[in-house]
């Protein structure tokens, strides 16, 4: 068994959609990035790749490559699953946390879990997503960005 940990952060910006866990969340700002900037999926991908000893998402999907500009992170997650499958790894569980002052994530967590389970071909019970604020502290607390972390167990 192998454990992986992932972390991602993106700045909030005008004129961008807010997509987290593959869910489009109504909000006045979205996350800035080369892809759809889905911090949760990026953290999960890094956790999975790390556990498998396969580097990180920057190695597999560099932001200097135009083929990934605006791409859905759910599609990239499916490609990470292919990398794991190539080495006969199976995912036992994923636990993650979204850190955002606003908007509230709880109404969207069930759909996020469903999106991730479908992309990875695992049961929804193997995925846990939590959300928290930072009580107004730091860049997430000040509403400047959103971050996420994830940990996974694979075998």
> DSSP letter string over 82-130?
HHHHHTT--EEEEEEEEE-SSS--GGGHHHHHHHHHHHHT--GGGEEEE
Residues making up the annotated binding site are 8-10, 34-35, 42, 56-58, 61-65, 132-135, 139
Least confident range of 86-95, 104-113, 121-130, 134-143: 134-143
Question: How many domains is the chain partitioned into structurally?
Answer: 1
Q: What pLDDT does residue 62 have? A: 86
* 52-86 pLDDT tens trace: 999 999 999 988 888 888 899 999 999 999 999 99
CA-based nearest residue to 98, from 3, 8, 1: 8
Q: Which residue has the tokens 């006969």?
A: 88
Q: Do residues 129 and 96 touch, judged by C-beta distance below 8 A?
A: yes
Q: Does residue 64 or residue 123 have the better pLDDT?
A: 123
Token pair recorded at residue 104: 């509230």
Question: How confident is the model over 100-117, as a mean pLDDT?
Answer: 97
* 3-32 pLDDT tens trace: 999 999 999 999 999 999 999 999 999 999
For residue 144, how far is the Cα from the chain centroid? Answer: 18
Question: Quick check: pTM over 0.85?
Answer: yes
Q: What CATH number is attached to the domain comprising 58?
A: 3.30.1330.50
Which of the 8 DSSP states describes residue 20?
Answer: E
Which domain does 146 fall in, by range?
Answer: 2-154
Tally of residues, the chain: 155
Q: What pLDDT does residue 88 have? A: 98
Give the number of other CB atoms < 10 A from CB of residue 93: 14
pLDDT at 51 over 90: yes
Give the number of other CB atoms < 10 A from CB of residue 100: 25
**Average pLDDT of every residue of the chain:** 96
Residues making up the annotated binding site for a divalent metal cation are 8, 10, 42
């Amino acid at each position: 068994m192998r454990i992986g940990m992932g972390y991602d952060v993106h700045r909030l910006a005008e004129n961008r959609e807010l997509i987290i866990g593959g869910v489009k969340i109504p909000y006045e700002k979205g996350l800035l990035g080369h892809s759809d900037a889905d911090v949760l999926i990026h953290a999960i991908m890094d956790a999975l790749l790390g556990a498998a000893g396969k580097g990180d998402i920057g190695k597999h999907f560099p932001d200097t490559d135009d083929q990934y500009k605006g791409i859905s992170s759910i599609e990239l997650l499916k490609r990470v699953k292919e990398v794991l499958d190539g080495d006969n790894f199976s995912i036992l569980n994923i636990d993650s946390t979204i850190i955002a002052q606003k908007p509230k994530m709880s109404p969207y967590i069930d759909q996020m879990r469903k999106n991730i389970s479908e992309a990875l071909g695992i049961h929804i019970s193997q995925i846990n997503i939590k959300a928290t604020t930072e009580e107004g502290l730091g860049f997430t607390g000040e509403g400047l960005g959103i971050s996420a972390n994830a940990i996974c167990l694979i075998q």
